[in-house]
Structure 1
Amino acid sequence: MLVGEVWLCSGQSNMQMPMAGWPPKCPLENSDAEVAAANHPEIRLYDTPRVSTEDPQERIDAAWVVCTPETVKTFSACAYYFGRKLRRDLDVPVGLLLSAWGGTRIEPWTPPCGFEGIESLADINQLVQKTLPASPLYKKTMVEYLAGMKQWLENTRKAMPLDRYVTAPPVFPEELILTGNQQTPTKLYNGMLHAHIPFAIRGAIWYQGESNHREGMLYVDKTQAMLNGWHKLWGCDFPFYFVQIAPYQYGAEDPEVLARFWEAEAEIVKTIPKTGMAVINDVASLNNIHPPNKEAPGVRLALLAEANDYGMDVVCSGPVFQTLEKQGHALKVVFDSAKGLSTRDGKAPDWFEVAGEKGVFEKAEAEIRGNSVIVQSAEVTEPLAVRFAWHKLATPNLMNGAGLPAAAFRAGKLPEPENPAVALVPEAVGFRVVYQLDIPADANYATERPRYAVDSSATDTEPFSTVAYFLELGKQDGTKQYVFASMDRFAETLAWIGVPVNSSEARFMQKVGNLTVRSNVAGIEACTGSDGGNIEFWPGNYGSGNAENIPGATGLFDFGDVTSDKIPGYGCMQVHNWKAKQTVLAFNHWGNAGTVDIGIGNSTGKTRDWTFTGNAGEYTLRRLTVMVK
């Protein structure tokens, strides 16, 4: 028996990845030599079996083992390097309690109580509460079901002697059953963490996020939820150190999606006490989501623990953005943790960009001066904002004297774009513009993003609860049509409310709440806060089918279409008021070659949603503005 430091090691595949690697596709650097040298009697390893369960498990079928070349082969490389660093520097026994599962999201690792009280996660909390037999919501739903079943039994008993037909019994409410797999909220906490709760731990290390990386700032709330639950159940606000996920290709995805997630990870450190982030953008493998260098993240996590929990005088962080100052036609970026600021290749700092009033970021020249970097661009004479490593493939060279790299960030403030709807629609006041698109008559976004005239999705970090669309159409005779449609937020990120091209990952066929419509087009029914709205946003083909059971949908009033697997395909961006049997706005056929379909209100053609009209050439003005508040 040993007495020492025990750390929980959790996350998805980059935490799970063993010292032997997963060759040939996912090898580990120096694997053979490191495994052969892994004789550490005072490091103990515990590998929790991968199990997802409906109920919290009280026992786990595993045991502590001594760290040897044989046992370490299948054990987490990141956790091993973390533990080895602590063992060497602290000279005390170290226990590594591994509980990781590749490909998993953060929600299944979160206890039910963690979701409580976080507004942005209220929908998840409600789903979870319905599956807990002790919760008021579960009991209420069950009581209602049992009452219905009781009434059915009584009616059936009365009907049978009279030879009358009997109706089907009430269907058991499926939402009371915690179904699903290892991605279902709470199921990995139940199966892989709950049984560890009675045992003391010093803290937790975490390597996860790839499966949540499209969520931006919402990930901060989800991390807070997980830690709220862990801390409450363990009865201790232990420290939590995590690895910022590495640069990676992620297919044809928008290059800024990952950058916004890095920003969210950095926000965790700013807003949640006793947290720290290990940056690894200098050891990435851009075409392998599992970087083969696991020593760097493990050691950097250990440095965070040594500095913050063990009182050691070590540098535990790379350069961190501190302030931004205007200096003539340049910007001065001041860093914290920047002693010995330099670059790992001896060249000028790279991956800096600046933007001015136009809001367009241009590559910047950068020069190190003490703990600062001076950035400027000939293309931007009056810079207002800067961003660094703001691309999914960014592997910047900036580091401090300890060899630790700087993390991605953005700073400064760009002018807010004008909202053209305000002058025409009082309800548009207070909205801020996220996208503005002058739509080409032959728009084809099969392989590229729309060329927005305004795109503040990368710089707008304010929360929002309402989304609005303003479509303007102008004809050659000077007449102008417009429609404004606002609705409750239906997407988790700003990246999903623009044109739903394939790379955006946006797919929506659903009802929307609080639909408000204003238009100057005859026949458009104005409404305020209606529950009769629905949207159809997708990059592929579509047809009738009404999978979402939208009331009143038919082959003619086709606001209940079904998307197909052909992506990219025709492309659809439609807002409907199904209660009024009206298409509010439609922008179709932007997903492949041909003329765009576009319209306000119902088309008089074969379908009411303007599909196959190819009419965009009739308009000299085709402008879509997307806004939020």
Structure 2
Amino acid sequence: MKRLNTLILCISLILSNCLFAENSCSTLAASALKADVKTAFKLGSLFKNHMVLQRDQPIPVWGKAEVGTTITVNFADSEKSTVVDSNGKWRIDLNALSASFEPKTMIISSSVNEEEIEISDIVVGDVWICSGQSNMEMKVGGIPEIKALIPKSSNIRSFTVKNTVAFEPQDTCEGTWKNEQPNSAVAFSFAYFLQKSANVPVGIILTSWGSSSIEAWMPREMTKTVPHFKTIMDEFDADVETKNRLKTILDGPKPWSRKDDVFLRRQSNILYNAMMYPLVPYACKGLVWYQGERNTRSMHGMATKPWFSRNSGMLKYGETLKEWIKSYRKSWNNDSMHFMVVMLPGYGKILDSGKDINSENPNAHSWAWMRESQLKALELPNTSVVNTIDLGDVKDIHPKDKLPIGKRLALLAMDELLKSDTKSCGPILKKTKIKGNTIVAYFDYAEKLKTKDGKAPTAFWLADDSKKWFPATAKIKGKTVVLHSNKLLKPKYIRYAFTAKPEVNLVNELDLPVYPFRTDTFQP
């Protein structure tokens, strides 16, 4: 019996050793295979020939390489090195530089096989990201007065991000820097007037797609701060049919059909993953945002039909916009990153949810409510809103009067660059005073109030607690406007330019229009 037990023990030891040997071999094979898989040495998508670097800020340069590799960046008589982290990623922050038209070359080298990447024709100036939907996308060729600026322009470069989507944030995107203007009427006219005023190279990174909502450009992290966005993303995660269709489109033939293209761009989050996340944290002065039309399909948001109306709506847009700005600043680690929002211009369409179907009435559910939401961006520091209340087309959601928008953007950008106390914007309501049967409106940024046509100011409405609005008679008195209505003995509230397509004429000494406003808190 003792001999039998000894025999069994010997057999067990032999089998255990064999199993150990087999596992060891498998582990060694897996390790060898893993060792053969090396991260290729490459840069972030924006680091290419002809790029523009942001002046007066530290300049992040990043990419991927084999773990443990030493990466060295040599640029503008400066050299910095770092070691690639355990995820195969690296980043080096170059020292801030002054603006320069002189083209320079950047050399990024790897200690593995002494690999080098050379980027040539680099200038230093002001970089702006221009994003949004179709009115940001509108081409230069469709606006004759903007197209005429091309021969006069110089020192403008552009990088256009290719339109696509992704389920997860992507490290790279498709696009190249070109030594020419962006093919966006708003972005180019902005760059043109900014370059002339600042006299530095201007780089525009254009990432926009028609029909996209603000939710399309929101990172998943915003589900923690925006409740309706969490609902949207929870629904998306559970929607197997939609995700399968998206995969089929992305894996299928290109170019996409019109139907598929529209289906892609009207989704939430996945545009951000593919078209904005790869830009982080490229040094820039700020971001120009011309978007909002997609979010005007309802007042309160999260409409069930059609499916692409599942968004903030007009009333939630303002708080969503502020959270969006804060989220981007956090991603870029730059609290002073400037955001310029282009207000939606005049447009005659109103929602059929309004009790008053007259688009000229300030109670109508018109774009006036979206403009009010967009102006909430001003509650954050380092923000501007371009007033377009005197622009637009009553019947066309894609108006052609883009040149004034470019000029006004450049004026506001110069305010930011110069940190000027005198703002290059239209008058903004400061306060009101009730005096008998009149209300007096006081304005900031109004050294001189006047009307463009020499007539009395238009587009003012008055109301009392009855919530009934009546057109007001308006008269300029110094830096104020005095208002009254024969229909009201004791007016209490003002709405100005608070209709779908108001006819306005009140401007300041710069011929810039007064921003729309309301002093009541009535809920629509």
TM-score range relative to shorter protein: 0.5 to 0.7
Match for 1:111 among 206, 219, 226? 219
Correspondence for 1:30: 145
Match for 1:8 among 102, 124, 129? 129
Structure 2 contact 145–403 (Cα < 8 Å) conserved: no
Amino acid at match of 1:202: K
| Per-residue CA distance 1:254-306 (angstroms, 9 max, x = gap) | 43321111111112212x22211001122322222222121211121122221
Report the Cα offset of residue 251 of structure 1.
6.1
Correspondence for 2:339: 240
Cα 1:340/1:178, change in 2 over 3 Å: farther
Structure 2 contact 135–398 (Cα < 8 Å) conserved: yes
Structure 1 contact 114–230 (Cα < 8 Å) conserved: no
Structure 1 contact 249–286 (Cα < 8 Å) conserved: yes
CA distance in 2, matches of 1:224, 1:412: 22
| Displacement over 6 Å in runs of 4+ | 172-178
Secondary structure in structure 2 of the residue aligned to 1:367: strand
Cα 1:225/1:174, change in 2 over 3 Å: farther
Correspondence for 1:149: none
Q: Identity rate of aligned residues, in percent? A: 29
Correspondence for 2:48: none
Report the Cα offset of residue 359 of structure 1.
1.9
Report the Cα offset of residue 219 of structure 1.
0.3
Report the Cα offset of residue 113 of structure 1.
1.2
Report the Cα offset of residue 340 of structure 1.
1.0
Structure 2 contact 159–178 (Cα < 8 Å) conserved: yes
Kindly indicate whether residue 304 of structure 2 is the aligned counterpart of residue 221 of structure 1. Answer: no
Aligned-residue CA RMSD in angstroms?
2.3
Report the Cα offset of residue 16 of structure 1.
0.8
Structure 1 contact 56–190 (Cα < 8 Å) conserved: yes
| Per-residue CA distance 1:119-159 (angstroms, 9 max, x = gap) | 4544235446x58xxxxxxxxxxxxxxxxxxxxxxxxxxxx
Q: Which has the higher helix share?
A: 2
Report the Cα offset of residue 173 of structure 1.
6.2
Structure 2 contact 161–275 (Cα < 8 Å) conserved: yes
Report the Cα offset of residue 175 of structure 1.
8.7
CA distance in 1, matches of 2:326, 2:400: 32
| Per-residue CA distance 1:490-543 (angstroms, 9 max, x = gap) | xxxx5xxxxxxxxxxxxxxxxxxxxxxxxxxxxxxxxxxxxxxxxxxxxxxxxx
Correspondence for 1:192: 275
Correspondence for 1:47: 160
1:279-428 equivalences under 5 Å are 279-312=387-420, 315-412=423-520
Correspondence for 1:465: none
Cα 1:385/1:29, change in 2 over 3 Å: farther
Amino acid at match of 1:248: Y
CA distance in 1, matches of 2:376, 2:147: 37
Cα 1:282/1:29, change in 2 over 3 Å: farther
CA distance in 2, matches of 1:201, 1:195: 14
Gaps in structure 1 of 5+ consecutive residues: 22-27, 132-171, 414-458, 461-493, 495-629
Cα 1:320/1:31, change in 2 over 3 Å: closer
Amino acid at match of 2:339: F
Secondary structure in structure 2 of the residue aligned to 1:309: helix
CA distance in 2, matches of 1:356, 1:29: 47
Gaps in structure 2 of 5+ consecutive residues: 1-121, 247-262, 299-312
Kindly indicate whether residue 190 of structure 2 is the aligned counterpart of residue 82 of structure 1. Answer: yes
Amino acid at match of 2:347: Y
Amino acid at match of 2:515: A
Cα 1:412/1:193, change in 2 over 3 Å: closer
Match for 1:181 among 239, 261, 264? 264
Report the Cα offset of residue 176 of structure 1.
8.2
CA distance in 1, matches of 2:461, 2:421: 34
Amino acid at match of 1:206: W
| Per-residue CA distance 1:408-465 (angstroms, 9 max, x = gap) | 211146xxxxxxxxxxxxxxxxxxxxxxxxxxxxxxxxxxxxxxxxxxxxx22xxxxx
Normalised by the length of structure 1, the TM-score is 0.54
Match for 2:174 among 61, 64, 82? 61
Correspondence for 1:555: none
Report the Cα offset of residue 55 of structure 1.
2.4
Structure 2 contact 339–382 (Cα < 8 Å) conserved: yes
Q: How many residues matched? A: 361
Amino acid at match of 1:193: M
Correspondence for 1:260: 369
Report the Cα offset of residue 33 of structure 1.
2.3
